[in-house]
Amino acid sequence: MSVCQPRIVLSRPKLDGPGLLALGARWRTLETVADPAPFQTWTWIGCAAERFADPLLIEAHDGDGLLALALWNRRRSWLAGDSLWLHESGDPALDAVFTEHNDPLLARRAPEDLLAAMLRAALRPRDGRAPRLVLSGVGAATRNAALAAGAVALPGPDRPAPYVDFARVPPSTAYIEQLSRNTRQQLRRSDRAYAAAGGALRIERAANAEQALAFLDALIALHAATWAARGKPGAFATGPVRRFHRRLIGRGAPEESELLRISAGGRVIGYLYNLVRGGWACAYQSGFDYPGAGPHGKPGLTCHHLAIEMHRARGGTSYDFLGGADRYKRSLCNAERALHWLSLAPRRHPAVLLAGAKRLTRR
């Protein structure tokens, strides 16, 4: 292994067709020596990058080659100051797809201080102006690097991310036996109710992109009906979001963009949309038939439990419920970590001055 100091390079890539192909090839190469979350793969990043109007690429190299990549989009504002958004566009309508586990992609051999060095490089003034860095849904390593980067950290929300760590489950033990007594009772009652009303429970994985897109359409219909009943639009309400996911599934199905249909006999209970990488499955979205659940049916518990056991049988490492403290997530998980939303800026950046002014007015 090389012992030379990593070299950090900043560039402004052209993300047209050839530019995306070239960056995608390099990103995929780095993935082979890293352990990316589904949101760090080119399958996800490549779909997001198509929306970047003013991209900035930060990469690191050592004597053995490419060591790290982080893609930012710059948003310019004379009033609010420049900002760089990590793997996001900075446009709320486009970023409604909601990214998590959103850290720079680092090779396994990367030194511990590389993340902080990359963030310091991103904070350097360009065109006479220093930017604010927006870090959405990052893990503890990136958060700690931000605190060590020598700028002002403006904290946003922290969200618990419950997950199932399969290494904690004895191989010969059914996962339901690891759950609380109350959860076991609810889950068994739900499964019995579905089986009695419709037939044997079954989980199907879309075999190809065409079938995955058909499952997605059915999922969106159930998802939209559920949120409409609550007076809200749901996660797939806008055209840009739906187009993003159709592209994502077209690129990643069935291995990385997984659509599951769960049924009892010929009756559909619900659909799950998971993002998968290297045994790490992220439960991204769902659509359930709540009106048909009856008094004892729990479609979320039943569907996710079947998916957990499916991924265990396939040799997976974890089933991640992503950010949020929903009761069903904590009922089914056996581990938890935190995801962080924060920004980082020089002391005289307008965002820092505004945050200081707000603190003074609260006194």
DSSP helix/strand/coil, 274: strand
* pLDDT given at position 358: 76
Give the bridge partners for 280, in sequence order. 277, 318
Average pLDDT of the residues in 174-197: 97
Q: Would you list the domain boundaries of the chain?
A: 7-159+340-361, 170-333
pLDDT at 1 exceeding the cut of 60: no
| Largest interatomic CA distance in the chain | 69
pLDDT at 309 exceeding the cut of 80: yes
216's tokens: 């997605």
Q: Are strands 318-320 and 152-165 parallel, antiparallel or unpaired?
A: antiparallel
- CATH 3.40.630.30, domain 170-333, yes or no: yes
DSSP helix/strand/coil, 1: coil
Provide long-range contacts, Cβ within 8 A and 24+ apart, for 151-154.
151/119, 151/120, 151/123, 151/344, 151/345, 151/346, 151/347, 152/344, 152/345, 152/346, 152/347, 152/349, 152/352, 153/342, 153/343, 153/344, 154/342, 154/343, 154/344, 154/345, 154/351, 154/352, 154/355
DSSP helix/strand/coil, 107: strand
pLDDT at 357 exceeding the cut of 80: no
DSSP conformation class of 34: B
Whose CA is closest to 7, among 121, 141, 146, 135? 121
What confidence tens digit (pLDDT) does each residue in 289-305 have? 999 999 999 999 999 99
pTM of the model: 0.94
- The size of the chain, in residues, is 363
CATH node for 7-159+340-361: 3.40.630.30
140's tokens: 């503890």
Same fold, 7-159+340-361 and 170-333: yes
Is the Cβ–Cβ distance between 308 and 164 less than 8 Å? yes
Residue of 351 and 227 predicted with greater confidence? 227
Amino acid at 332: L
Helix ranges (H only) for the chain are: 17-31, 42-49, 114-122, 140-147, 181-197, 209-229, 239-252, 299-313, 327-332, 350-361
* pLDDT given at position 2: 46
